Amino acid sequence: MASIRKYRDKWRAEVRRQGHKPMSKVFITKKAAQKWAKETEVAIESGDLHNLTNKTVSDAIGRYKEEEKPKAYHVTVLNFWDKELGRRKLSQIRRAHVIEARKALLTNLVQKGPNKGKPLAPSTVNRRVALLSKVFRIAIEEWDWARDNPCHVRALPEHNERDRLLSGAEQQALYEALKKHSEPSLYPFVMVALYTGMRASEVQRLKWQDLDIETGHIQIKVSKNNEKRSVVVGGEALELLKTWRKEKALKWQGYVFGNSYTGKAPYNYRAHWKEAKEAAGIEDFRFHDLRHAFTTAALTAGMNPVMVQLVTGHKSSQMLKRYSHLTKDVAAQVSASFVASTELAGQTNGE
């Protein structure tokens, strides 16, 4: 039963229903109090209490941070959404609000890396919207704070395709520059990335305990997708690692690569990589393009795309789960295909 009473110079509405906690709210006018009381009674009768919550987007983001312990980068992204949408109630936010905030996100600039100073890529913006969507999904499914997810908006077209591969001459020039660089970690670091398709961050975190030096089998325990996977390093890269282990196995607290002068690990390769590219006269080639080169070579050699994705960690569809039983053998096949195609290309360029 709803009751409307005078409360100082305002009006207090209270709704009581068996099986529910009493709900009350203060309004400036009696008419507004009556309207709220009626809407609340209807919501209780229909079981639709989501529209009655006072929880805001900021409340949801705060709880997500507390319970999920997101990475520092994700905290930065969540802080942006908090600033743009935090004051809005979960029951009142709409897709239009998310789209409008996304426009502001598109004007943000990259803070570091090779694209520093440039606007965020559409793919990056899509990932940041996906993070907010995850917060709403948990608020709906686990906290019972919301009914709808306003982040279900059409994704921005990404157009992220890159086909920048090194020519034979560029590849030879880069190899020479890497070998001549004053930091001895640089050359084997790059070669491991090239021969495995591993991300730079994965090579940085690589430890000797994760590598079987005899077979070249590597267990990647921490990846961008937060999932473990296996790769196999072969060819020249494995031979480099065998020699490298004899010289550096006891350095850098178990990390395979580190700075030979400062003794710091994981290895911060960026400045050295840039210097080597400049020395080789190579432009518009990113470290991540080494991963692209590995993937391209494996696919060109006729490997099943699903198997290649399993090894490289390009897990963008549910399809890969059907092949989760494939382990070392698949990784070895992909690695062998890459080694064979690379060695064949080297023989052709040498003729």
Output the 3-class SS for 198-222. Answer: CCHHHHHCCEHHHEECCCCEEEECC
Residue 63 CA: distances (Å) to CA of 25, 58, 75: 25, 9, 12
Helix 235-248 and helix 186-196, axial crossing angle in degrees, nearest 10: 140
The reported pLDDT for the residue numbered 113 is 63
User: Given the structure tokens 């941070």, which residue do they identify?
Assistant: 65
CA distance 88 to 42: 23
How many Cβ atoms from other residues are within 10 Å of residue 258's Cβ? 22
The reported pLDDT for the residue numbered 147 is 80
CB 304 within 8 A of CB 267: no
CA distance 13 to 206: 63
CB 294 within 8 A of CB 338: yes
Tokens linked to 90: 């979960």
CA distance 234 to 222: 21
CA distance 343 to 226: 33
Looking at residue 219, the DSSP 8-state letter turns out to be: E
* Of the candidates 329, 331, 289, the residue with the CA atom closest to the CA atom of residue 312: 331
The reported pLDDT for the residue numbered 57 is 95
The reported pLDDT for the residue numbered 184 is 94
Helix 122-141 and helix 72-85, axial crossing angle in degrees, nearest 10: 80
Tokens linked to 301: 């050699």
Tokens linked to 266: 């994981």
Residue 271 backbone dihedrals phi, psi, to 5 degrees:
-65, -40
The reported pLDDT for the residue numbered 322 is 36
Name the fold adopted by 168-350.
hpI Integrase; Chain A (1.10.443)
CB 98 within 8 A of CB 85: yes
The reported pLDDT for the residue numbered 304 is 63
Tokens linked to 101: 């905030």
Beta strands in 39-105 (DSSP E): none
CB 189 within 8 A of CB 276: no
Residue 272 CA: distances (Å) to CA of 95, 166, 180, 269, 279: 45, 19, 11, 5, 11
Q: What is the mean pLDDT of each run of 10 residues along the chain (351 residues)?
A: 84 81 82 84 67 80 93 92 94 92 85 72 90 93 85 84 78 94 95 90 93 92 74 90 89 92 92 95 89 76 63 51 41 68 62 52
Q: Residue 107 carries which side chain, given as an amino acid letter? A: T
The reported pLDDT for the residue numbered 2 is 81
The reported pLDDT for the residue numbered 314 is 56
CA distance 91 to 329: 51
The reported pLDDT for the residue numbered 293 is 81
CA distance 187 to 272: 10
Tokens linked to 111: 């803070």
The reported pLDDT for the residue numbered 241 is 94
The reported pLDDT for the residue numbered 319 is 36
